[in-house]
Every structure is written in structure tokens, then in C-alpha cells.
């Protein structure tokens, strides 16, 4: 017995009209009867095809501004009837319900309406009700019915229909895809509503995304991976235009996101550059020109910067592009670039250049999701920025204005460094970064060592950390980490405070002549 199902009758109702005329014409050439709704029916009729209106099938006109048109037993009976069940077939005959063998539906453009900033009423009106109901009915009955929700599948259906009918394998695959579509659609609606309810961490968590790219592999070659775009429009690596270079890898995407999110937090009215390697900043700076910011960021850790990711908050110019091609860089991301800058970067054909056209707002809210065995961890994005009343000088000596500017810069960078994080900075440029250690003392020592290594690389005798300030993403549990920073040449410290040994740490800072500021804000990043 063949598992192919012949197509005799199709119901077509699409908001995305791409390819639908050609597809429908091929169906009619195969002898398929067409049923359709509103705008789709008019389009097909205007292109010379015979179409039966849904209203003619149901005996009811479209009503309530189109909110009700396919929600009718004569439609859902035609989709859900089991063709090998005599009771179901008798019901079709008794109530004059036409069996529907093929359903083609694209849903109202809810996600697109939200993305372009539609108002509340427009978004609500683009919540499809009849479409998902029909899709789920047809997908449930995939034993007999073919359901298509993506134009990319039109040709596969035509190919099999021309061979005598659609195979069960294809019907099952399309049914699974259909349920994914309705699930992601409902998730998008739920996410949109969640932005307006007081408790954003509700009793259930849903997320949706559309695959935009199949990646060569994941973190390692034996892992499969893909990039999915979410409903939230946040400028960055997922929405950028790739101007040149090889395909982005999983690690490229992850590291580029880290770099761009950090550079977006630095002062937007001044040129800034960030270099990231393995999801951690290895250099960051704010300066008078973009090229100067890049040079200062590179100076912090030129060894780690090799093969790194570079992010900018201002459009790339010729001078900066000329500096960038001096060493091997994997990815550059910026809001824009001049044509001359693009020409210079084109010399490195494998270098990926991403243009975002805008910067993300560092204070935007959102959610971060991490999967664990058996569940998900969901939290708000760490969009907390320091306010003046957060800062509390706890040492005998207050920081100078220059030190305070550097402290705020260093604390911003530390927010984007994997904990335990220690960041040395001078003149709003990092001069030593210690990341991801199991204790804060080791992070302090690593940052100091990197500072000395960078100085040696630059032919300087004095470690870059001499005369710098230091930021810690969490409190110093003991004075040893603080004293290591003092030994490295730091003159001022910024940290959240809150340790049971705060008084001991404050006393150590005073003994060393350090200015110390508590923020009351912790920035763990795991």
C-alpha cells in the first residue's frame, strides 16, 4: 500500500505572498481545486485561476473585520477527518464537508509588526487565530493532510505531487515544522505581552527564534550549531550586515556579541574600542580618536589580541582601518565604516567586517537564558549602571577627578569580564585584566603580570599598571587581593563592598594610601 496522498483540494490563506501565485498555478495544472480567503483569493483570481471562496464553503461571510472566516466545522472537519474512518467519512457526506488534502498558511505578521514598532492595537490585530487553528488541525491529521507554512517547501510538495502524491515522510516533516511555527508564534505573542506585566518572571517561560544561519559547527567541530534570531530587536551581531570575510563561527558570534555589548556601555559621544578573546575583554579604551582608542586597547594585551574580535562605537575611518590590518583579527564590528576604510579592510579577504548601523542601548531591559540539566535559568540582563548616589568613598583619601573617571571606566569594563574579575585602568584605557579565576587574589596577580608583560612588549621598563586604578566586580573578601593591586601600582580602588571584612580591607587601603570607593553594586559574570 502506497504511503502517498494525492492532492485533490487545497486551502490557501497566506499573508506572505512570496511564490504563492506560481505554486498555486502548478497545483491547478496538477488538477488541484483551490479554496482561499480574502486577499489571497483575489490575488489568485487576478492571475487567472479559478478559486472557491471559504465563505462559499462555510455558508457564512467573513465577519468582524476578518476576525472570523475559517473557524467553522466545514473547514476544520475537512482538515481533521480521518480518511480511513467510516464514521468520519459519513460526517463529511452528511454535512457536505469537502475534504482538504493540502493546507497552505502563512500567519499574520505579528513578529514583523512588533519589530517595526507597531502600536498596541496594531500588534493585537496581527495576532492570528484562525491560521494557527487550521495549521494545528492539518498537522495533527498529517496521516492524510499535507500542511505547508514556509514558501521554501512549495517545490518539495510540487515534486512529490507530480509523482502521484505527497509521501508520509514529507507530511510528517512538514507537520513537525508546522507545530514549531505555531509554537514559536505563540511564544512571540507571550513574550510581547510579558513586557507589560509586573512579574516578568511568570509561572511559565517561553522563547522563540527563527533560524537565520546553520553554522559550520559549535564550540568544537564535533558539535552542530545554528544561529536563531529572536523577536527582540537589539542591534548587534545577530542583526548586523556582514560586508566581507568568511562565514562567522559559533565562537565568532559569541565573542563578537561580548565585544559589542561592552563597547555599547562606554561613552557614546567619544570614540571607544574593545578587543575580546574567548568572550573576555583583553583591551578597552576611550580616546580622542577611534584609532587612538584602538591603539590603547591593543597596548593592554597585544599577545591575546592576536586573532581577536574588535568592536567600535563610532564608524570606522581610514586611519583605524590601516591600524587594524597590521595584525591578524577575526572579526570587526562597528555601526558603520567609510568606503575607503572598507577598501583597506578588503585586503584581508578572510577578515569578517560587520556593520550594525546603530548601537544597542546599554540600559535596555531584557532576559538572559541559560540551559541547565532539566531546566533553564532565566534572569534580567545586567543593565544596571552606576548613579552618583551609588558611590561612597570609604577611605581616608577621596579619589581625584582623574582617578574617579578611570574608576568608573574600569568598573564598566569589569562588568563584562568573567568573574572573578580585576581590571586595571589608566587614562580610561585598560592596562591589565585578570579574568575567570577561582579567587580574587589570582585575578589581581594575573592582571598585574599582564600589565608588566604589555610594558615589556612595548619596550617600557615600568608596568602599565603603575599609577593606575583598579576595579573589582565583587567585594574583596580579604585584604590580600587589594594589597596585590597596591603592589602593582594602583592608586585607587572601586568595588561593591559588602564583605564581613570590609573594615579590614578599608584599613589596608588607608595604610597603602589608596582611595577606595564602594558602589553597592555587584557585577558577577559567569
H or E segment at 432?
Answer: strand 430-434
**3-class secondary structure, 341:** helix
Using only C-alpha atoms, the chain has a radius of gyration, in whole angstroms, of 30
Instruction: Answer for the pair 347, 368: CB distance below 8 angstroms, yes or no.
Output: no
Q: Which residues pair with 392 in a beta bridge?
A: 518
**3-class secondary structure, 85:** coil
DSSP string, 200-259: SS-SS----EEEEEE-S-SSSTTS--EEEEESS---STTTPEEEESSPPPHHHHHHHHHH
Instruction: Answer for the pair 143, 168: CB distance below 8 angstroms, yes or no.
Output: yes
Nearest to 330 by CA among 347, 365, 313, 305: 305
Q: What are phi and psi of 23, to 5 degrees?
A: -60, -45
Phi-psi map region of 165: left, alpha, beta (phi>0 left; psi -120 to 50 alpha):
left
Total count of residues recorded for the chain? 526
C-alpha cell at 60: 457564512
Q: Determine the straight-line distance between the first and last CA of the chain, rounded to whole angstroms.
A: 57
Distance CA(394)–CA(476), nearest Å, equals 14
Distance CA(330)–CA(338), nearest Å, equals 20
* 441, 444, 450, 453: CA torsion to nearest 10: -80
DSSP string, 32-46: -EEEE-HHHHHHHHH
Please report which residue ranges of 281-385 form alpha helices under DSSP H: 290-300, 302-305, 318-324, 339-345
Other Cβ atoms closer than 10 A to 358: 12
Longest distance between any two alpha carbons in the chain, whole Å: 95
Q: Which residues are known to be catalytic?
A: 140, 278
Instruction: Answer for the pair 341, 321: CB distance below 8 angstroms, yes or no.
Output: yes
Other Cβ atoms closer than 10 A to 146: 28
Cα separations (Å) of 398 from 123, 390, 414, 494, 498?
52, 15, 21, 11, 19
Q: What are phi and psi of 493, to 5 degrees?
A: -135, 140
Q: Which residues pair with 516 in a beta bridge?
A: 493
Instruction: Answer for the pair 81, 145: CB distance below 8 angstroms, yes or no.
Output: no
Amino acid at each position: 500500500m502506497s504511503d502517498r496522498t494525492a492532492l485533490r483540494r487545497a486551502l490557501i490563506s497566506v499573508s506572505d505572498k512570496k511564490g504563492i501565485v506560481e505554486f498555486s498555478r502548478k497545483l491547478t495544472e496538477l488538477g488541484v481545486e483551490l479554496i482561499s480567503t480574502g486577499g489571497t483569493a483575489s490575488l489568485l483570481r487576478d492571475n487567472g485561476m479559478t478559486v472557491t471562496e471559504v465563505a462559499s464553503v462555510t455558508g457564512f461571510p467573513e465577519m468582524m473585520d476578518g476576525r472570523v472566516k475559517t473557524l467553522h466545522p466545514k473547514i476544520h472537519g475537512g482538515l481533521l477527518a480521518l480518511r480511513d474512518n467510516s464514521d468520519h467519512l459519513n460526517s463529511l457526506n452528511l454535512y457536505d464537508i469537502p475534504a482538504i488534502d493540502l493546507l497552505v498558511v502563512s500567519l499574520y505578521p505579528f513578529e514583523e509588526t512588533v519589530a517595526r514598532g507597531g502600536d498596541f492595537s496594531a500588534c493585537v490585530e496581527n495576532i492570528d487565530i484562525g491560521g494557527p487553528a487550521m495549521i494545528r488541525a492539518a498537522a495533527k491529521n498529517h496521516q492524510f493532510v499535507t500542511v505547508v507554512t514556509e514558501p521554501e517547501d512549495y517545490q518539495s510538495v510540487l515534486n512529490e505531487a507530480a509523482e502521484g502524491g505527497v509521501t508520509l515522510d514529507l507530511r510528517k516533516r512538514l507537520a513537525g515544522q508546522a507545530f514549531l511555527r505555531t509554537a514559536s508564534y505563540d511564544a512571540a505573542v507571550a513574550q510581547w505581552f510579558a513586557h507589560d506585566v509586573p512579574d516578568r518572571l511568570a509561572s511559565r517561560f517561553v522563547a522563540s527564534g527563527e533560524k537565520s544561519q546553520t553554522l559550520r559547527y559549535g564550540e568544537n567541530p564535533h558539535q552542530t550549531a545554528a544561529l536563531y534570531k529572536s523577536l527582540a530587536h537589539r542591534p548587534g551581531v545577530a542583526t548586523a550586515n556582514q560586508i566581507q570575510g568568511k562565514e562567522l563561527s559559533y565562537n565568532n558570534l559569541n565573542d563578537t556579541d561580548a565585544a559589542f555589548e561592552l563597547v555599547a556601555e562606554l561613552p557614546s559621544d567619544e570614540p571607544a574600542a574593545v578587543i575580546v578573546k574567548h568572550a573576555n575583554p583583553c583591551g578597552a579604551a576611550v580616546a580622542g580618536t577611534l584609532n587612538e582608542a584602538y591603539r590603547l586597547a591593543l597596548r593592554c594585551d597585544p599577545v591575546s589580541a592576536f586573532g581577536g574580535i574588535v568592536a567600535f562605537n563610532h564608524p570606522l575611518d581610514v586611519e583605524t582601518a590601516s591600524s587594524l590590518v597590521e595584525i591578524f583579527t577575526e572579526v570587526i564590528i562597528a555601526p558603520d565604516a567609510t568606503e575607503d576604510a572598507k577598501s583597506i579592510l578588503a585586503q584581508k579577504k578572510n577578515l569578517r567586517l560587520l556593520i550594525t548601523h546603530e548601537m544597542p542601548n546599554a540600559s535596555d531591559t531584557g532576559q538572559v537564558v541559560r540551559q541547565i540539566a532539566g531546566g533553564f535559568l532565566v534572569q534580567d540582563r545586567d543593565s544596571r549602571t552606576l548613579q552618583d548616589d551609588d558611590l561612597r568613598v570609604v577611605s581616608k583619601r577621596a579619589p581625584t577627578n582623574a582617578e574617579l573617571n578611570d574608576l568608573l571606566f574600569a568598573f564598566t569594563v569589569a562588568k563584562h569580564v568573567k568573574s572573578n574579575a580585576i581590571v586595571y585602568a589608566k587614562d580610561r584605557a585598560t592596562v591589565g585584566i585578570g579574568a575567570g579565576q577561582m579567587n580574587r587574589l589570582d585575578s589581581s596577580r594575573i592582571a598585574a603580570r599582564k600589565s608588566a608583560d604589555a610594558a615589556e612588549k612595548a619596550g617600557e621598563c615600568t608596568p602599565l599598571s603603575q599609577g593606575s586604578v583598579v576595579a573589582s566586580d565583587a567585594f574583596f573578601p580579604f585584604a590580600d587581593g587589594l594589597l596585590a593591586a597596591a603592589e602593582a601600582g594602583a592608586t585607587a580602588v572601586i568595588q561593591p563592598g559588602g564583605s564581613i571584612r570590609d573594615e579590614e580591607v578599608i584599613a589596608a587601603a588607608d595604610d597603602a594610601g589608596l582611595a577606595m570607593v564602594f558602589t553597592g553594586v555587584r557585577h558577577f559574570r559567569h
